[in-house]
Structure 1
């Protein structure tokens, strides 16, 4: 996000100066015509010397120059940050980079508990179950294949929820189907539910469980899992990550972000309140019968729609009570 913000600022300065990309490349003496494009689109790590060359060409000085150089340093300094994490796949690294600077994270999980909430055992099941799909990758494909390495990386990412220095506000809507017997062995799911109870106790975390009978808005059905990231710096672009089987999309278009924000608000309104969700998770976690461990509590079997069952003005709505 820092790279994208820097790129947007550099593009704005170039356009204000009335210069084309080719003119900039010629005047700063860069050999590659794509170098400027990669910088302006946030696709490459910025070199401080390159950014200085551009700022001098655009006649930027004073406080604006200092601010942009600070952003460039933050955007380029990834080595120290990565040392705090075990080795991870490129997809995990992309999520870790998004999560690290967030002020707010909102996630919708229709079938899988989000990575920031997974226990080691649950994460291991998810990673091992997907391994047959990765066996046919090309020989030059460099990924971290050892499950324990990936599990360790996922757990390292989770530390941001409980960090002492201003952790992000985290809200997740979990479908009941993400907590059913199809997800893993009963003992793994029981431990996962107990872990969700502990995480929900954090003051910056809000969990909502969406019943299978809940009506979302006017019968709207979300098609995929997604995560919304907002950052402390207002100028840093917010982003939505959309999960797919082999790759994820990260989008920063404001119109797209607004649509996913609306969908998330609908999901929050249709789901159980945070208190009711915690009660459901607690009851499910302590069921003795493994065959029915994750059935909905008896009170949810009434024909009354979930929205009519609850009347808690203090907790209704996307913000929750935490």
Structure 2
């Protein structure tokens, strides 16, 4: 009986090995299919039911973040499959029945060097695209348009410079019948929209009038804090026309969940027409918005 068990052990090991690699292949195929399906389910400018992926990027920064995110997912998948393979190999090859006389090796120079160098190489592979994303985010191109954002408890206000009319308006959550008539998603629609031209560099200066808020639009790839007494700045260049939604992402109080952001990206001609209308609609007499100096 002992000999029979000894003869069966290698066959079982081979079956387990084939089973492992079959499972690994299935997991990889599932990952590919899931990634493709999630990408199809990702909304443009707003979330959609059962969405598993990030919203589709429409700016350079968002595209680099999107690609970096998926690179990290593949790296994690490879590491998980490798560790799983090692665990199964240990269970199959080094259990008491398959290996009754265990090795008493205490040191292996090559192995110790490998498990030091390989993690370093993985970190380098992650660091390079990470620094590339940071470089893009922190670059400071010349602005074609400036917009000032002020967070209030609990709504946003926006100011445009004198060059395009010097007007200011508030953006509040659309609710009830107004939201239904707008055709925009619930809890993400506003009564007034931020309008910017497509393929133009827009610099946004962000601050707050009362407590901390955070202005975030996923499709643009940014989230920037609005802090009382401080002016933060970032830039974006939307490469696709459309309506894009975001929300306050800083826990700012009772109506934190009701501070949506709506940005409408339009052609240059449509933007000129909107600013001409906005000059009258949002007319003001206090000399217009004041902006910090920017390149």
- Alignment TM class, shorter chain as reference: under 0.3
Give the TM-score of the pair, scaled to structure 2: 0.27
Between Structure 1 and Structure 2, whose CA radius of gyration is higher?
2
Instruction: Flag the structure with higher strand content.
Output: 2
